[in-house]
Amino acid sequence: MTHIIVINPNTSDATTAMMTGIVRRLLPAGITADGMTAASGVPMILNGLQLAASVASVKDMGLAAAPRTNGIIIGAFGDPGLEDLRQLLDIPVCGLFESSVLQAVEAGQRFGIATVTPDLVASFSQKAAALKASSFFTGTRLTQGDPLSLARDPIQLKAALSIAAKQCVDQDGAEVVIIGGGPLGEAASELRRELSIPIIAPITSAVKSLIRMINDHTNAS
């Protein structure tokens, strides 16, 4: 039986359960998933300092999970600890930002990001550049209001992200919009079904990417 671990770099058990639930719905028969929640940190990563501080917990969880899993998804849009775990472990590891951006790039689509965290916007441009995706990136559009308050109100969150996603397309020329954030996973899945504009849900991208990586890893072994 193939097994996947979803690492949540923040301290919210509810977010872990939500992300793991999405992953389980997407998995084919024969693959199972469980989640892990950071023991310390913040309930939602809102800035670069918090993102950097979460790396240690991600590494600890990854090392603890490795003996009992075939692959790991890091469930934060900033991909904290992604390269660290890839260097430390001999199993596939993928992140939400990398998976979703590469999905857009591989399809040749100009992509925008709709999200709730203004203090992480600069890091998105840096990460896009590191993935050689800058020429495809049309920029980030932000929701209005406090990110934590929005995250606690699914209806308002979805409405705010819908506006930001439409701005990515109508004002920036994006051909597809990434909903940027692990805690935004359920909203991303719903917007993908409901909006007429193309939406990339990062958890969905990560699941597809990790299954492909696990199959490649198994065939190479």
Same domain, 136 and 194: yes
The DSSP code sequence of 6-32 is EEESSS-HHHHHHHHHHHHHHPPTTEE
- The 10s digit of each residue's pLDDT in 24-75 is 999 999 999 999 999 999 999 999 999 999 999 999 999 999 999 999 999 9
Same domain for 56 and 131, yes or no, is no
Quick one: 16 and 59 in the same domain? yes
Rounded distance between C-alpha atoms, residue 119 and residue 52, angstroms = 13
32 and 18 inside one domain: yes
Query: Cα separation of 95 and 8, whole Å?
Result: 11
**Domain harbouring 78, CATH code:** 3.40.50.12500
pLDDT at 187 over 80: yes
Co-location of 209 and 120 in the same domain: no
> Residue 221's pLDDT band (boundaries 50, 70, 90)?
low
Mean pLDDT of the chain: 96
- Domain of 41 in residue numbering reads as 2-95+204-220
3-state SS string over 53-92?
Answer: HCHHHHHHHHHHHHHHCCEEEECCCCCCCHHHHHHHCCCC
Query: What distance in Å separates the CA atoms of residue 59 and residue 81, rounded to the nearest whole number?
Result: 6
Q: What is the pTM of this model?
A: 0.96
Same domain for 148 and 178 = yes
83-132 per-position pLDDT tens digit: 999 999 999 999 999 999 999 999 999 999 999 999 999 999 999 999 99
Looking at the fold, whether 197 and 216 belong to one and the same domain comes out as no
106 CB neighbour count, 10 Å cutoff: 8
> How many domains is the chain partitioned into structurally?
2
